[in-house]
Amino acid sequence: MKQSSFYIKNNICLKQGLASALIGALLTTGCGGGGSSPTAVAIPTATPIQTPTPTATAWPTTNPVPASVGVDKSYYTKYLDAGGIAIVANGSVSDEALWRMQAIVLKMTAKRPDIRKVLAEKIHVSIIPKNAELTSIPEYINLSANNPGVDWNARARGLGPNNILPLMSCGEENIIRSIENRYPNEDICVHEFAHAIMYPAMNTVIPNSEQIIVDLWNKAVATGAFANTYAITNQNEYFATAVQDWYNVNECKKVPDGNHGPVCTNETLKIADPSMYDFLSSLFNNP
């Protein structure tokens, strides 16, 4: 989970029938950087994402939620399949958001069908309407009551899964870059889906994966490469943030500000944290 001070990087869209042409460019951004060390990274001016021109004036329609998907069908009325992983949304959510989220899921699970299979069996993906709060979706109605003292609607626009709530979520506005999107410089959907990959998928298909991540996190903390950034919060956030770096959808800061820092791209991650980079290369195709 990322807190409200984090931002959501623009995603390239995916139209039905354009998958083969666009999937390779799905998560490309212009936030690349370089340098001899993580403390001497040149942060370039971001290059806007080149979104393909659609061949139709409207996004393809989505599908009704099938009976096999165990969600509240009085609330969820839209559905897409992403390699067996269910993506669901309320009727107020745009079809565009579901198609874009499908593209993200397919991209991030393309190299590991075993991970995709676990996620298909254990979670679903929920899109929070752009004009609704986090706790408006059925799974999160009791979130504040069960976690007193936390203002979840102010804290987050998406969450990863856990034992009690087996879903990953993110806000519609984050996906489609609408005017409601308060956080334009970072991709929360990639971050939260990375949490889903770590749990429940990796700990199911990769022996000792939790200890592997803990060891990598401890090593990264010791180097100081991620000092004063969100990545050192714990091993879970370290992994999810590194996945954002892998896909070049993290926010870059030349001077760490408590959330972000100069290690923010695939290239800078490879320089600053080659061990995590090598591990991620076993999970994901090159961005």
pLDDT digits (tens, 9 = 90+) for 49-101: 233 344 556 899 999 999 999 999 999 999 999 999 999 999 999 999 999 99
Cα-only R_g, the chain: 18
Give the model confidence (pLDDT) of 110-165 as tens digits. 999 999 999 999 999 999 999 999 999 999 999 989 989 999 999 899 999 999 99
> How far is Cα 25 from Cα 14, in angstroms, rounded to an integer?
10
- Residue 9 parent element (H or E): none
- Identify residue 12 by its one-letter amino acid code: I
Q: What is the pTM of this model?
A: 0.82
Average the pLDDT over each of 7-21, 206-220, 254-268, 272-286 and give the range with the smallest value. Answer: 7-21
Phi, psi of 49 (to 5 degrees): -65, 135
Quick one: pLDDT at residue 179?
78
Supply the mean pLDDT for the chain.
84
Contacts of 24 (CB under 8 A, 6+ apart): none
pLDDT at 56: 53
β-sheet bridge partners, residue 88:
79, 126
The angle subtended at Cα 241 by Cα 208 and Cα 262, nearest 5°, is: 130
Share of the chain above pLDDT 90, in %: 73
Residue 15 has pLDDT above 90, yes or no: no
Which CATH number is 19-281's, of 1.10.3470, 3.40.390, 1.10.10, 3.40.190? 3.40.390
Q: What residue type is 137 in one-letter code?
A: I
pLDDT of residue 121: 97
pLDDT at 180: 78
Please report the pLDDT score of residue 57 as a whole number: 63
